[in-house]
Structure 1
Amino acid sequence: MKSHAATLLAEVRTFRQHHPDVRYVDLIALDIPGHFYGKRYPVDMLEKVAAGSPLKLPQNAVLLGVQGGLFKIGDYCFHDGDPDANRRLVPGTLKPVSWEAQPLGQMLITSDGTEAPIEFEPREVLAKVLERLHRKGIHPVVAFELEFYLFDKKLSDGLPQFARDPLSDDADDQPNLHIERLSRFAPVLDDMVETAKAQGIDITVITAELGPGQFEINFGHLEDGLRAADWAALFSRSTRGVALKHGYRASFMAKPYLQHPGSGMHVHVSLYDAAGNNLLAAHQQQPLRHAVAGCLELLPHCMPIFSPNHNAFRRLGGTVNAATRACWGYEDRDACVRIPESDPRNLRIEHRLASADANPYLVLAAILVGLEHGLEAAKEPIAPLNEDRNSGTDFPLEMLEAVRAMQHQPALREGLGAEFVDVYCENKRQDHLAFQQEIHAREYRWYL
């Protein structure tokens, strides 16, 4: 069996053989707000890293705010000397970038699996949750679904414009689920799919969603939760790049139009034992009910993860299939936790609350901690919406309240890591306060 370094080195050399025109590779990782950061490496230097040379980036790059600034979070950023931290290459993620003007490659990097992982790095948080579940004999199978909007490439006074219909050159301003929209936007959608496949992502279903220029992409189910989250992150990056190449702007912003549906991140999760038996389906599906109860109990405390910014809270309520209370139901898209109809082998939950611009590593980690908590507490959930349309428990609908609900929740601090919870909550608190430090034109119209 090849060593880890030998496997990586073979991957880099094979890439160079297949893409001799590529001179640089972007080494990228997702920060707390869900943006990629990293370095552009000459491909010959990448061979040295694959062979075992150190790969170091500032530890605090993970802590960047939405606008890229650093916040004072404990002793991080301003009292720790801004130290470097080791990263490693993620095998199997070295792929060509086709949406840039010049030939380029990209590869994921992470601190998980290094000698001193960064406790608040999103991928490391998920890795620890998955490792703990595996030790307990629980093996998740995961699939993401992502909604996004296409806009015209040019903004109008800073505001998005409807994508232009390629056939009529009119604005695609009619919300619909018509299959013809997939045909009209086929060139850009096909390129998005083929580009994603070139990244190793398994794209399955494409849907024209309710909003004007809104689409949904489904990914295949994976036994590797880390890779499933990798797919969601990488698809978001490639989709934005492909859209620009075709004269559009693609965005996973949660609520770009108040009058049209927001964009969500739906996550399907089933749990199996080592023999491949669906744990949720055992004992007349009693574990499923316990898992749902755990998800709903922790959901109000996970809102800074599921709705990671001011705009994401706008998505909740008042539109189609967006709940304002923690609830569940069978085949019910108004529920935060939906149980799709399936046979016992494929029984799963569909978690529908997160916004499309949430961090996929953290969303999945929070969902899994909720399921784990429910299985261990073995409590019955509240009534499903199928039995009581008013069933549900309240959750925070603004960021500062959500942060307060998250920071001291014992099960979350234990399940996600106390250091991560403290860092994440302070990052969100500071981002929210920074967002408020600007007077909007509306204030002058109302109060001047």
Structure 2
Amino acid sequence: MKSHASTLLAEVRTFRQNHPDVRYVDLIALDIPGHFYGKRYPVEMLEKVAAGSPLKLPQNAVLLGAQGGLFKIGDYCFHDGDPDANRRLVPGTLKPVSWEAQPLGQMLITSDGTEAPIEFEPREVLAKVLERLQRKGIHPVVAFELEFYLFDKKLSDGLPQFARDPLSDDADDQPNLHIERLSRFAPVLDDMVETAKAQGIDITVITAELGPGQFEINFGHLEDGLRAADWAALFCRSTRGVALKHGYRASFMAKPYLQHPGSGMHVHVSLYDAAGNNLLAAHQQQPLRHAVAGCLELLPHCMPIFSPNHNAFRRLGGTVNAATRACWGFEDRDACMRIPESDPRNLRIEHRLASADANPYLVLAAILVGLEHGLEAAKEPIAPLNEDRNSGADFPVEMLEAVRAMQHQPTLREGLGAEFVDVYCENKRQDHLAFQQEIHAREYRWYL
């Protein structure tokens, strides 16, 4: 414990030496809908926390809805006195914030690893899954890919406008994959990449995607699944901030345009043993097939995680590379689960179903539970799309149906934690009902 505290204290003191103009540090964590919450601490108080002083925030901050409100969920929120819960600093995450008007720092906090972790905190859910896999001798290597759109900073009657091409000042309204788009938007993209790198994030490939103003960022592969999810979460935060600084809005909204492709979160996962052998490649890749079968079996029950809001369901069955059924295939981007071509050492599964605004901790946790289930059940999967273009199983395409499918699934309740599943499903149910409590102008056009 003393060694842990001394390491944190050294990190804070080094940060203060390197950034003497920073007076405050945002201590942040991801809630269930995938938003950061936290507190802004004077940097001198952060030293005290690093040295061992308690760090407490309301437990129920994790339960906030998409709009920040609290819902009645079991005994939480309105019958528990809104208690505080201990958090801890995540080592290695204290970094400068360059997109705010004043010099700031930020650092991740979490309840995992404390004496009483919050069972429904997303990072804690993933931590438990990773710990269980490690005890079984399974070591995931993970890489995220995130798609996002750039919009003009100003909305028009509440609706997004196409990003302006900085060279021509025209709207970037033409879908394309042209490399020139990377050049035209180089100032903001370069700043996004450099800012992410300053957060410790390994950015690899940048792609101009098919939608107007749409891009994809790839991250490096990591043996630390928690850190991989941290990268995805932190990138979303910094990218939004950098975009505003350059006069744009960046959004990871799943389906901002009905007529253009949605934005996804693609997760590459390979599994190794303690000696570094790829478990999926053993025995003529039979474990790969078992892992695929397990993921496909649980996929229809994980839809509230992969499509966490009303808009995310609009992305499914969209214009390009968005699956309509639970399916898999070799080098097939129409599949929920794609097996990229690779050598045995790097054999992996690319899970492509989640929307870009999904919670990365929960997406990875759900994928790993599916892989774990498949390896243990040792069942054969359905035919890949390469053999049968009609292969696949239906999954829910509406939130309340998806919640019903998730809540009582025994493998998920065991793998992710029954308390988490109950809390998460009720959070999504209440969010969906709250979303319906506003009459849209379309209703007046149709029914007035």
| TM-score, length basis structure 2 | 1.00
Task: Give per-residue Cα distances to partners, 1:387-416, cap 9 Å, x unaligned.
Answer: 000000000000000000000000000000
Work out the CA distance in 2 between the residues paired with 1:436 and 1:2.
51
Runs of 4+ aligned residues of structure 1 deviating over 2 Å after TM superposition are none
Task: Give per-residue Cα distances to partners, 1:253-312, cap 9 Å, x unaligned.
Answer: 000000000000000000000000000000000000000000000000000000000000
Task: Give per-residue Cα distances to partners, 1:168-216, cap 9 Å, x unaligned.
Answer: 0000000000000000000000000000000000000000000000000
Work out the CA distance in 1 between the residues paired with 2:418 and 2:291.
22
CA contact (8 A) 2:261 2:318 kept: no
Task: Give per-residue Cα distances to partners, 1:24-46, cap 9 Å, x unaligned.
Answer: 00000000000000000000000
Task: Give per-residue Cα distances to partners, 1:35-82, cap 9 Å, x unaligned.
Answer: 000000000000000000000000000000000000000000000000
Work out the CA distance in 2 between the residues paired with 1:152 and 1:108.
30
Q: Matched residue of 1:140: which SS?
A: strand
CA contact (8 A) 2:262 2:318 kept: no
Work out the CA distance in 1 between the residues paired with 2:389 and 2:192.
39
Work out the CA distance in 2 between the residues paired with 1:2 and 1:305.
38
Work out the CA distance in 2 between the residues paired with 1:19 and 1:380.
55
Cα distance, 1:373 vs structure 2:
0.2
Cα distance, 1:319 vs structure 2:
1.2
Task: Give per-residue Cα distances to partners, 1:132-154, cap 9 Å, x unaligned.
Answer: 00000000000000000000000
Work out the CA distance in 2 between the residues paired with 1:314 and 1:91.
38
Does 1:21 pair with 2:21? yes
| TM-score, length basis structure 1 | 1.00
Task: Give per-residue Cα distances to partners, 1:356-394, cap 9 Å, x unaligned.
Answer: 000000000000000000000000000000000000000
For residue 440 of structure 1, what is the aligned residue in structure 2?
Answer: 440
CA contact (8 A) 2:50 2:89 kept: yes
Task: Give per-residue Cα distances to partners, 1:331-373, cap 9 Å, x unaligned.
Answer: 0000000000000000000000000000000000000000000
CA contact (8 A) 2:182 2:208 kept: yes
Work out the CA distance in 1 between the residues paired with 2:10 and 2:222.
25
What 5-or-longer segments of structure 2 have no aligned partner? none
Cα distance, 1:2 vs structure 2:
7.2
Work out the CA distance in 2 between the residues paired with 1:213 and 1:261.
11
Q: Matched residue of 2:193: which SS?
A: helix
Q: Matched residue of 2:147: which SS?
A: strand
CA contact (8 A) 2:192 2:238 kept: yes
Aligned residue pairs: how many?
448
Q: Matched residue of 2:2: which SS?
A: coil
Q: Matched residue of 1:22: which SS?
A: coil
Work out the CA distance in 1 between the residues paired with 2:186 and 2:105.
25
Work out the CA distance in 1 between the residues paired with 2:172 and 2:323.
27
Work out the CA distance in 2 between the residues paired with 1:66 and 1:324.
25
For residue 305 of structure 1, what is the aligned residue in structure 2?
Answer: 305
Work out the CA distance in 1 between the residues paired with 2:445 and 2:380.
51
Work out the CA distance in 1 between the residues paired with 2:184 and 2:446.
42
Task: Give per-residue Cα distances to partners, 1:148-168, cap 9 Å, x unaligned.
Answer: 000000000000000000000
Work out the CA distance in 1 between the residues paired with 2:309 and 2:227.
25
Does 1:67 pair with 2:67? yes
CA contact (8 A) 2:306 2:363 kept: yes
Does 1:32 pair with 2:20? no
Q: Matched residue of 2:105: which SS?
A: strand
CA contact (8 A) 2:145 2:266 kept: yes
Q: Matched residue of 1:270: which SS?
A: strand
Work out the CA distance in 2 between the residues paired with 1:231 and 1:257.
26
For residue 250 of structure 2, what is the aligned residue in structure 1?
Answer: 250
Q: Matched residue of 1:145: which SS?
A: strand
Deviates more, 1:318-327 or 1:379-388: 318-327
For residue 402 of structure 1, what is the aligned residue in structure 2?
Answer: 402
Cα distance, 1:318 vs structure 2:
3.2
For residue 47 of structure 1, what is the aligned residue in structure 2?
Answer: 47
What 5-or-longer segments of structure 1 have no aligned partner? none
Work out the CA distance in 2 between the residues paired with 1:160 and 1:340.
34
Q: What's the % identity of the aligned pairs?
A: 98
Work out the CA distance in 1 between the residues paired with 2:370 and 2:334.
20
For residue 93 of structure 2, what is the aligned residue in structure 1?
Answer: 93
CA contact (8 A) 2:310 2:432 kept: yes
Work out the CA distance in 2 between the residues paired with 1:153 and 1:318.
26
Q: Matched residue of 2:317: which SS?
A: coil
Work out the CA distance in 2 between the residues paired with 1:77 and 1:181.
47
Cα distance, 1:233 vs structure 2:
0.1
Work out the CA distance in 2 between the residues paired with 1:363 and 1:241.
24
Work out the CA distance in 2 between the residues paired with 1:11 and 1:324.
47
